[in-house]
Structure 1
Amino acid sequence: MNDLVLILAPRGRDAAIAAGLLGRHAIAARICTDVRDLAEHLDEGVGAVLLTEEALVGANASEIAGWVAGQESWSDIPFVVLGNGSRTPRTVAATERLAELGNVVLLERPLHAEAMLGAIRSSLKARARQFEVRDSARLSAAQNRILALAVEAAPLTTTLEAIVREVETLSTFGVIGSILLLSEDGSRLRHGAGPSLPAAYKDAIDGIEVGPAVGSCGTAVYRKEPVFAADISSDPLWVDFRDLALAHGLRACWSVPITSVEGEILGTFAMYHSEPREPVATDLIIVDFVVRTAGIVIARTRAEDNLRASEARYRQIVEGADEFAIVSLDPVGTITGWSSGATRLLGYSASEALGQTGGLFFTPEDQAANVPAQEMARATAKGRAVNERWHVRKDGRRFWASGLTMPLAERDGGYVTIFRDRTAEHEAEAALRESEARLRFFGVLEERLFSAATADDAMRAAAEMLGQQINASRCAYADVDADNDRFWIRNDYTAPGIATSAGIYSLELFGPRAAAELRRGQTLIVRDVAGELGADEGRAMFQSIGIEAIVCCPLVKQGQLAAMMAVHQDVARDWSLSEIALIREVVERCWAHVERVGAEARLRESEERLRLAVENAEIGFWDVDVVNDLLIWPTRTKAMFGISADVPVTMADFYAGLHPDDLEATTAAYLAAADPVQRALYEVDYRTVGKEDGVLRWVAAKGRGVFDALGRCLRVAGTALDITARKQAEEALRDLNATLETRIAEAIAEREAAHEALRQSQKMEAMGQLTGGVAHDFNNLLTPIVGSLDMLQRKGVGTEREQRLIAGAAQSAERARVLVQRLLAFARRQPLQSVAVDIALLVAGMGDLVESTTGPQIKVVVNVASDLPSARADPNQLEMALLNLSVNARDAMPDGGTLRISARAEPVGANHRSGLSPGEYIRISVADTGSGMDEVTLARAIEPFFSTKGIGKGTGLGLSMVHGLVSQLGGGLTIQSRLDMGTNIELWLPVSATRAEGVPDHQRAAAGATHQGVALLVDDEEMVRMSTADMLAELGYAIIEANSAEEALRLLDSGTLVDIVVTDHLMPGMTGTDLALRVRLARPQLPILLVSGYAELEGIDAKLPRLTKPFRKDELAATLTSLLH
């Protein structure tokens, strides 16, 4: 390009202003430091020089003028001189000196930017026009010189090199030119001309392929358009050639296809540069000149060469019979002659074939093996080369040819090839050989398949023979599941060194194409797995088991993929049609034998199942041969007639074995089945009388007659089944139906009894809830009463009469307290102190007490096992319950008798009479010999308030209390009684996991103990609190009273010191249990006693010591003593 402006000004500020002004208007500028710097950059790329007058003083003007005069290409460079307004003789002389040699524009001051820009732009345009005129003239002259060489018939290489040199001379940027010629088959580029290219580079690119990313030249031919690589170091098309180009100093390459007038691509012209560079207008003009000129030269030279060669060879080619193809070749194997027979046989016209290589009609494999060149070499060596081989027509079809190749006797040499089509004869011979081989193959295969005992044996034999027959790497037969997805290769044939593919596979893993084609029944044929299958078509799965080529023939039965035969090759393979047909036929034959073997196996299995079914069903067979008068009975049928297995039978045995009552009907049914007219179904039940054992049996027989074409009965056959058990069951069913009404009445009675028990249970629950609530209120009322009366008695207050009244009141209060306890026991809500109790010790210790209670007229017997384990119970409540039962027994024996109390360990199982869960229990029995109870009394014995003692003689809560107690302890109560025979009541208590402990000494001494300290008494009932305070005071305590848990906490928080806390449980606001928890957090060592008249234990900490209301002083003392120790 000629648009660079050089600036020379002694004052740097002037140069900078000028350069900035030009830059803002897109004009490139360079500031030179002095005259020598200016000279170094003065070349054809400069469009103008901008000077100030000060730069022309001294020797500068002469030096500049001298350099301009010495270079022809610089003589036309325009100079723009900026005047300073006061011109001196020296500057005027310098300006005039430049004007003599070049184009000078003088701009006087005052200077304007527009004037300077206008002068610079005009100078640049003038400079550009100068180059266009010069370049056009130079190109025209160069083209004339090149065409003159072509007219003189100079060698093509000479002419092309002349073109390249002209280009290199015309360019002002040090270009290196190259012409590459396209090979005849259009696949490669060969060296044409490149005189200035390094020899090593030319050798390296000679023969490069045409492709989408083969540098600039190979890509230009592939795209059929110019390719400009401005920077080889970063251009993606130069990846494979980048290092080569850079190593030879080549940094840019522009390549343009060279075409003929008809548009045929003949080669490429390339311009290489030593620096990265984009083409400009002048470059494109040069390129256009080269490709037009080279195209004309190359096309003309090739046409002349072809014409001369063709004329020389056709004189030696004899146009033979139409069935012969006659082709002439030059010494290197290029087709130069083409007969009409060749066109008929091969399908190529002469224009299509001429100029092609002799391998045009050879098979790809022969071309790869260099067979065409070998034939020419044999012809040269022996004078002729006879051959028979496959050739390829234009449409790709192959034919078998017989012919010969001979050398041509002429100056330029060459060859002639003559051949004809012998496909029919060859295929007939091959077909005959193949047919014989197939017959032998299938003969052996059938023998092996018929000898196969199992389906696996048949598949293994077929796979092995097929694999060896077609020389495959692997051959496998696969069964396909019913879901058409999974297939199973049990075993396969493999060539040496090939791994087995046996296993279970999913069809989907082999890609959608394989799965779809096989399910449709289409043979899957893949000749090159890597080339034909994509990543999403199962390629990886095939290759993972070593498959590079495959033929897989499916076998579809009833619309379902049933089996497959797959032949694998570990390299790509072009499967032939005969091979594919062979595989298909093997699949069909193999399937037929697999089905045969499978059918035989299924038949054996079916027969075995039938045998087992008959055996298990105890079915017998019978067969009457009417023609020969034979009766066939197996062992089971003989047994139905009481005949041993080894005893022969006849029809006489059949009739003799029938029960007399069934003989007539059975005989008539048999005759109807054997009658050609009736041909009835023989179906009858009859009785038999055993011939040898006399046993009566029932038999169900069924059968039919078999008749010939004339209607004669040949045989009657069928089955027999021993139905004796069924007949007996039917008889039992009839008897059962007869007693149905009785059993229904019993069931209704049982249901009514269950309903009555449910009503009784609900009534007991309701009464329990009522009595529990009432007992709670009584406890709070009785506490101050019992406490006060106890104190009055102990202090002996009043006269003797008053003491008797106090004693009577105390006795009534005690009876009320016992009544409340019974109510709570009945309601199963009494507070129990459940511990491990030594039952043997407890029962034995009650003997004297019971004797004193019952009187001398009743004998008391205590019987306790010595190894009796402990039971979980409240000992006080249990003693009360046993005493209550003993009193009831005494009352039942007014005239005396025996009361027996016993205890023993006894396991309880499922459905025990006690209704308890299975486990280990202790049974305590209280039995008497008294009056006993009738059923009505026994049914109501544990009802609350039910008594047989009369008004005023009993509360009716005794048995209710005992029942509630044992139930609350997790046990049970059972009663056996008969009128006038006595009663036995059993208490069932669960065995304790721990052993019972003895009574501590401090409890025995509790009654006489005294205490000291401060007691904090908490109760919301004033009367209860007052009574309890008096008892504590008598025991030696100083009392601090609080009417609520909140008040007690305030006293403790204020620092009040106490030694024990006695608190009621159920109070408004905070409960006694909550108070205890709060106190223990603050004073964990402070003893706390919880007093409660409430029946429920919910919300009460089980670890807290408890005292049940009402209580006396001695009971309070004993509890406190136990707590403090």
Structure 2
Amino acid sequence: MEERYRLLVDAISEYAIYMLDTEGRVASWNAGAQRFKGYTEPEILGEHFSRFYTPEDLANGVPAKALSTARANGRFEAEGWRVRKDGEKFWAHVVIDAIRDQHGQLLGFAKITRDLSERKLAEEELKRSEEQFRLLVQGVTDYAIYMLDLEGNVSSWNAGARRIKGYEPEEIIGQHFSRFYTEEDRAARLPQKALEIAAKEGRFEKEGWRLRKDGTRFWANIIIDAIHLEDGKLVGFAKVTRDITEKRQAQQALDQAQQELFQAQKMEAVGQLTGGIAHDFNNLLMAILGSLEIAHKRALEGQNVVSLIENAITGAKRGASLTQRLLAFSRKQDLKFEAVDVPALVMETTEFLQRSIGPTIEINTAFPLSLPPVSSDPNQLESALLNLVVNARDAMPGGGVITISAHKHSLRSKQIPELAAGEYVCLTVKDEGEGMDAETLEKATTPFFTTKGVGKGTGLGLPMVQGLMAQSGGRLILSSKPGEGTTAELWLPVAEANVTPEPVNRASTGAALRHLAVMAVDDDSLVLMNTTLMLEDLGHRVIEANSAGEALRLLEQGQVPDVMITDHAMPHMTGAELARQVLERYPEMKVIIATGYAELPGGEGGDLRRLSKPFTQAQLNDALAAVEGID
């Protein structure tokens, strides 16, 4: 049996196991002892075990105290530095047991030593890391970094917390962190909610007002992280707070400056816009008033005034077109796509332009004998062409030639950016003007940008053309160089083969209507009189009302018409509101809303027939025919 134990002990290499006599001399030596300490058995047997101790321990009598303790208590256990044969130190866990015979007589000591150097180094590294982290956290002054227990009580406090919040560690450790919150936040249970969210989701982050020790407020960014053990047990929270009051104030100042800049830019744009609109409308009004004034004189003399009246009507239509462009810019309008004969539209448009742009400008047109129709809104395309021709005229104050041409092109994929592969007609307007440099060309389609000077342009012409092209599936391409004039290309998709172009002169359907009783409602007496004259000229009986209230009174008196045509923008009650009340009482009555808006504010009257102001007698007749169900 003893032999088996001896073999077992000698085979152990992870522990140094050996015997000491009563004086402390080595009496046996196993393989583990030889591996740890570096001594062979012949070298160490009979030597005192104190040679394994450091000089410091020897000077303090540690070996003798160890044997004394083991003799008195039966056992001695400790950790400490020990020395190998080569002088190298290692950290050891040591157990010395006293060995006695059956009579209690001390026979010697059994000594077991284990090398714990790696564990000791790891512990020291961890301790050093923890100390570095502690110094790091304590040294941070821009962030308040501290720990909370499960209830939210402060358990640590760094220098940043002391600087930001104003409390010394002894004043705040053990106190609940809710004291940093405002009364309003505490009443709303925000501190408790923050911990609940952090415990549930692992993290809570927010910005808000917090309180310093002296009662002053600061705007804080707060992060609360839940702290869990390896087994997942929640043990507390890590809280990081940063004072971002200055950052918030700087952002608010920046936002204010941006708002003021935006307001200034908006007012500048409004000034530019109103000046340009005034210029354009004054030109139109001059043509209208001038034509009517001469027509009035010639009519008194019995002369023919038809051409002058036609010129005034044309100018008024141009004014209506300008208004529609402005409305379309502010609120996107639905385009009415149809097949358009480009040469016919150009000829009809330039016939008017040639008379109005003056004798110094010559307009030349060039079209192939056969050109397919394009898919576009004819009214908007006409406006686009007018814009381009007027721009070309303005670029040649000394006169020159404007050339309008068109050609069919088959485009491959990506041949022109933003255009799909397919068949297109390129409508071109070219002038011999001053041209534009690269910077001006780049800004040419920017809203409100104009080179015509204050009050001489809205800066909306080219943006409107660009918008039309985008909605049509086409593109506006401008090319220009200083001194070489400007070329504007309108790339328009070819209409489907089975679609027939509409006539350029989009006249009324001329539908024959029965004579109707029509109530005309408008708070503007001039408009009301004009509408009444148009209706009476069409053979209808008219009931006039200058407000929604008067219209309701007339209905109550029994004057119930077949159709009501009402202005929308009236005081006290809008046309859409009037229509709702009327249709509730008289569901069989037809109602038409006349409005100058691109769309009714607030989406009112979405299911009612609309008549855009200003309207012609033909358009009025078409609206009546539509509500009567006559195509």
TM-score range (shorter-chain normalised) is 0.3 to 0.5
- Normalization by structure 2: what TM-score? 0.42
Higher CA-based Rg: 1
